[in-house]
């Protein structure tokens, strides 16, 4: 039997993919791709799109489609055999792509193509692909002299070790702390399910009482609910000194500050080698924001708008804490606690209550109906007779047709949590839209895009022997809309070249626009009415409950926004003109940022940078601002829908404009151009501030 991972004629054959097929398929594809690259490298003819770019794209597509199926299965149907096969092949795949990004002969060919007469005749999408390739080669150090390149690669290797060490230290520090409590009286206020978990953790260690740790599910409820102030202070102190010189279990080899200083120095050195003046510029070279100054201005402007609101949030919290909780000197370890009490007093409703109004069938129906009327498409579930192969009985499969009845996209929907599935929610591409030329008959056809939409919601429960539908919390509904937004970006693209089709080639700080955009509809009364139906009474969501949800949404939004801005500004400044050896320390810089931005100054012993993994061990260095940046884009894009509503209903003309200028174009042109084409101007902050209740008009 042939290997199903090597059949690219249609949808993946999930029912036929067995673990034994994985390694042979990957070996075959890697071998085939290496042979092709070798042939291309040695081809003396002038590089053209047809003899050079297209064959490389085709070969890489086969590899990524096959490997995509394997890594998808590894994420949603994990088991020991599959994990072993995955881990065995992962380094080989990583190695292949690393070689590709360092391949000087390919770089040379891209340069030749860029300077050839053909380049001027390419479509704009293809021009952008060539330019993106050249940019990525340069950022990978391809243009450096032999000596400089050696140093550049050394730095990259060292940085990757330091980041990994940063994470290890943080994890070790988190795990090293255990707090055992024997006296139940000391745990007043903490919810029963949290106490039960704490008790079980103690029992498994043969101890009595309750065990608390610095992991979120233990730490967070303790900070929010424990009436015992000393207990909160104790665990807060432990949490904010993790992986620092102040850690209670003082282990100097676990201090992340020397690592931070090293990372900053090496990033700076690598940036200079590449011809930039700092790492922030390197980071922004692939993003929508054009300069560090633009990002700094953006953040400061947002902070100025949010500050009065944040001050009001804090004033209210202080008054409440003094009057109702007898906390007249609100400390860092009181904030979550007092906030939770204030929230309870103001907006008395539970997630459980809201959940009864969101049965799965009604939510999906409502979401599909919304995008159908917005974008003039039709979404239908594939009938069972079609025997679409999936990886689990709970997975559903859908077709999307356009107004003239043409099939334009398909997606798998895998909603429920199960032990074999990785946590979180995500969209991934199974097949990407592109035009495929058939050389034999000189004709071409469009390859239909296919997406995986994966969530981790609770599955339907069987009550009294008849199945009830799955019920979603409002937060889960928002997650579903978010991922569906990514899905539509992938599926409704009109681009015909793979590298910039759908979400491919879209700037990092703009890629969340279509997903966050969709979230807005979950706060739209006209939309929610149509997608809610109480699981027992059949009633749609009452307006009074919706109003409470809306108020709770913006609870302390001013303080939250300032906190995000504080992190983002610190991240940007530390990668701009900061030199760890020049006298000012990382903590000094953070102090300055806080003095300028924050309404709450944390205590002196707070070592926040030592656990800021996003920027020291993740991909967010000089990019943390992206969260707020993309929120501004999505809110501002959404505001055009608000402005053009007809009798409270969505406007299909605005919908088709959104498809045409944002979703359809994918990464084929800069995100700013797409935004301006849709909105008629550059992004403005106003809509985001209004959606967060920070300004009213």
Any idea which residues carry the catalytic annotation?
483
- Shortest Å distance, C-beta 691 to Zn ion: 17
Interface segment toward Zn ion; rule CB under 5 A; list 122-130, 230-238, 448-456, 512-520 = 512-520
C-beta neighbour count of 96 within 10 angstroms: 18
- Shortest Å distance, C-beta 630 to Zn ion: 9
- Reduced to 3 DSSP states, what percent helix, strand and coil does the chain have, rounded to the nearest 5? 60, 10, 35
- Shortest Å distance, C-beta 428 to Zn ion: 12
For Zn ion, the closer of residues 410 and 515 by Cβ is 515
- Shortest Å distance, C-beta 626 to Zn ion: 11
HSE-CB for 640 with a 13 A CA cutoff: 23
Strands 426-431 and 466-467: unpaired
- Shortest Å distance, C-beta 694 to Zn ion: 23
- Shortest Å distance, C-beta 518 to Zn ion: 10
∠ CA 616-617-619, rounded to 5°: 95
Q: Is 160 left (phi over 0), alpha (psi -120 to 50) or beta?
A: alpha
Listed residue (551, 552, 553, 559) closest to 307, CA to CA: 559
- Shortest Å distance, C-beta 411 to Zn ion: 16
Give Cβ neighbours of residue 230 (< 8 Å, ≥ 6 apart): none
C-beta neighbour count of 236 within 10 angstroms: 23
Strands 450-457 and 407-416: parallel
Q: Which helix (H) or strand (E) holds 653?
A: helix 652-658
For Zn ion, the closer of residues 475 and 649 by Cβ is 475
Distance of CA 408 to the CA centre of its chain: 26
SS3 229: helix
Interface segment toward Zn ion; rule CB under 5 A; list 236-244, 349-357, 511-519, 670-678 = 511-519
For Zn ion, the closer of residues 347 and 426 by Cβ is 426
Q: Is 285 left (phi over 0), alpha (psi -120 to 50) or beta?
A: alpha
φ, ψ of residue 416 to 5 degrees: the values are: -95, 150
For Zn ion, the closer of residues 292 and 487 by Cβ is 487
CA distances from 226 to 161, 233, 338 (A): 39, 10, 10
Interface segment toward Zn ion; rule CB under 5 A; list 264-272, 322-330, 507-515, 632-640 = 507-515
Asked if 476 and 417 count as a contact pair (C-beta separation under 8 A), the reply is no
- Shortest Å distance, C-beta 486 to Zn ion: 6
Nearest residue relative to Zn ion (C-beta): 515
For Zn ion, the closer of residues 174 and 515 by Cβ is 515
C-beta neighbour count of 25 within 10 angstroms: 23
Q: How far apart are CA 357 and CA 474, in angstroms?
A: 9
Asked if 584 and 130 count as a contact pair (C-beta separation under 8 A), the reply is no
Sole binder of Zn ion in the list 224, 244, 256, 515 (CB under 5 A): 515
For Zn ion, the closer of residues 89 and 515 by Cβ is 515
Listed residue (342, 345, 348) closest to 320, CA to CA: 342
Strands 462-463 and 466-467: antiparallel
Q: How far apart are CA 669 and CA 117, in angstroms?
A: 21
Asked if 86 and 68 count as a contact pair (C-beta separation under 8 A), the reply is no
For Zn ion, the closer of residues 280 and 630 by Cβ is 630
- Shortest Å distance, C-beta 319 to Zn ion: 37
Q: How far apart are CA 214 and CA 235, in angstroms?
A: 8
φ, ψ of residue 290 to 5 degrees: the values are: -95, -30
Interface segment toward Zn ion; rule CB under 5 A; list 116-124, 167-175, 456-464, 510-518 = 510-518
Burial class (CB in 10 A: 0-12, 13-18, 19+), 386: exposed
CA distances from 474 to 355, 462, 479 (A): 7, 22, 9
Interface segment toward Zn ion; rule CB under 5 A; list 9-17, 104-112, 327-335, 515-523 = 515-523
Q: Which helix (H) or strand (E) holds 179?
A: strand 178-181
Asked if 371 and 409 count as a contact pair (C-beta separation under 8 A), the reply is no
Convert 500-517 to b/e letters by CB count within 10 Å (16 or more is b): bbbbbbbbbbbbbbbbbb
For Zn ion, the closer of residues 508 and 678 by Cβ is 508
- Shortest Å distance, C-beta 514 to Zn ion: 9
- Shortest Å distance, C-beta 191 to Zn ion: 30
Q: Say whether residue 224 binds Zn ion (CB under 5 A).
A: no
- Shortest Å distance, C-beta 512 to Zn ion: 5
Please give the size of the binding site for Zn ion, defined by CB under 5 A: 1
For Zn ion, the closer of residues 515 and 532 by Cβ is 515
For Zn ion, the closer of residues 235 and 630 by Cβ is 630
- Shortest Å distance, C-beta 675 to Zn ion: 17
For Zn ion, the closer of residues 287 and 607 by Cβ is 287
C-beta neighbour count of 489 within 10 angstroms: 25
SS3 219: helix
Give Cβ neighbours of residue 315 (< 8 Å, ≥ 6 apart): none
Go through the chain and tell me how many residues it has: 697
Q: How far apart are CA 626 and CA 283, in angstroms?
A: 11
Q: How far apart are CA 599 and CA 604, in angstroms?
A: 15
For Zn ion, the closer of residues 189 and 618 by Cβ is 618
For Zn ion, the closer of residues 515 and 668 by Cβ is 515
Question: Which residues are at the interface with Zn ion (CB under 5 A)?
Answer: 515
């Amino acid at each position: 039997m042939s290997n199903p991972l090597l059949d690219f004629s249609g949808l993946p054959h999930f029912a036929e993919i067995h673990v034994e097929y994985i390694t042979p398929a990957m070996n075959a594809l890697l071998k085939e791709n290496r042979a092709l690259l070798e042939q291309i490298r040695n081809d003396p003819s002038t590089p053209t799109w047809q003899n050079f770019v297209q064959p490389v794209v085709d070969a890489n597509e086969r590899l990524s489609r096959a490997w995509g199926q394997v890594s998808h299965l590894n994420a949603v149907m994990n088991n020991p055999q599959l994990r072993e096969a995955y881990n065995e092949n992962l380094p080989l795949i990583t190695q292949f792509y690393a070689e590709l990004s360092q391949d000087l002969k390919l770089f040379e060919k891209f340069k030749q193509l860029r300077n050839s007469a053909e380049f001027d005749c390419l479509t704009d999408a293809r021009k952008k692909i060539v330019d993106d390739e050249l940019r990525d080669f340069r950022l990978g150090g391809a243009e450096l002299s032999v000596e400089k390149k050696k140093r550049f690669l050394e730095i990259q290797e060292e940085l990757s070790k330091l980041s990994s060490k940063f994470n290890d230290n943080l994890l070790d520090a988190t795990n090293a702390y255990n707090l055992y409590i024997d006296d139940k009286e000391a745990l007043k206020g903490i919810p029963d399910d949290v106490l039960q978990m704490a008790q079980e953790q103690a029992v498994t260690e043969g101890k009595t009482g309750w065990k608390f740790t610095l992991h979120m599910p233990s730490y967070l409820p303790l900070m929010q609910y424990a009436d015992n102030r000393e207990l909160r202070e104790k665990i807060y102190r432990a949490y904010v000194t993790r992986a620092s010189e102040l850690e209670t279990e003082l282990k100097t080899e676990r201090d992340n500050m020397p690592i931070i200083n090293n990372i900053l120095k090496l990033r700076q050195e690598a940036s200079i080698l590449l011809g930039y003046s700092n790492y922030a510029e390197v980071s922004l070279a692939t993003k929508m924001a054009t300069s560090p100054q633009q990002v700094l201005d953006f953040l400061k402007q947002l902070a100025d708008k949010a500050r009065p609101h944040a001050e009001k949030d804090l004033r209210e919290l202080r008054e409440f804490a003094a009057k109702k909780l007898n906390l007249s000197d609100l400390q860092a370890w009181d904030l979550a606690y007092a906030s939770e009490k204030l929230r309870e007093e103001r907006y008395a409703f539970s997630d459980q209550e809201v959940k009864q109004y969101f049965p799965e069938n009604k939510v999906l129906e409502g979401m599909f109906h919304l995008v159908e009327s917005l974008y003039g498409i039709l979404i239908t579930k594939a009938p069972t007779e079609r025997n679409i192969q999936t990886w689990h009985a709970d997975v559903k499969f859908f077709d999307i047709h356009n107004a003239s009845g043409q099939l334009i996209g398909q997606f798998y929907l895998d909603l429920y949590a199960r032990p074999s599935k990785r946590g979180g929610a995500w969209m991934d591409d199974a097949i990407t839209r592109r035009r495929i030329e058939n050389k034999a008959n000189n004709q071409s056809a469009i390859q239909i895009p296919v997406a995986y939409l994966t969530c981790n919601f609770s599955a339907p429960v069987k009550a009294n022997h008849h199945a009830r539908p799955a019920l979603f919390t409002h937060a889960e509904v928002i997650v579903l809309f978010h991922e569906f937004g990514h899905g539509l970006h992938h599926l409704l693209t009109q681009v015909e070249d793979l590298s910039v089709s759908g979400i491919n080639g879209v700037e990092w700080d703009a890629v969340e626009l279509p997903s966050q955009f969709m979230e807005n509809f979950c706060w739209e009364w006209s939309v929610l009415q149509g997608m809610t139906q109480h699981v027992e009474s059949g009633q749609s969501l009452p307006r009074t409950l919706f109003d409470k949800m809306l108020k709770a949404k913006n609870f302390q939004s001013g303080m939250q926004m300032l906190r995000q801005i504080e992190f983002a500004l610190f991240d940007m400044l530390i990668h701009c003109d900061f030199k760890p050896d020049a006298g000012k320390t990382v903590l000094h810089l953070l102090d300055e940022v806080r003095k300028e931005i924050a309404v709450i100054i944390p205590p002196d012993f707070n070592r926040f940078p030592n656990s800021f993994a996003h920027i020291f061990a993740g991909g967010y260095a000089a990019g943390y601002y992206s969260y707020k940046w993309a929120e501004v884009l999505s809110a501002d894009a959404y505001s055009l829908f608000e402005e053009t509503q007809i009798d409270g209903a969505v406007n299909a003309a605005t919908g088709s404009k959104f498809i045409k200028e944002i979703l359809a174009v994918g990464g084929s042109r800069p995100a700013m151009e797409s935004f301006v084409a849709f909105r008629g101007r550059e992004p403005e902050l106003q809509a985001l501030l209004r959606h967060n209740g920070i300004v009213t008009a």
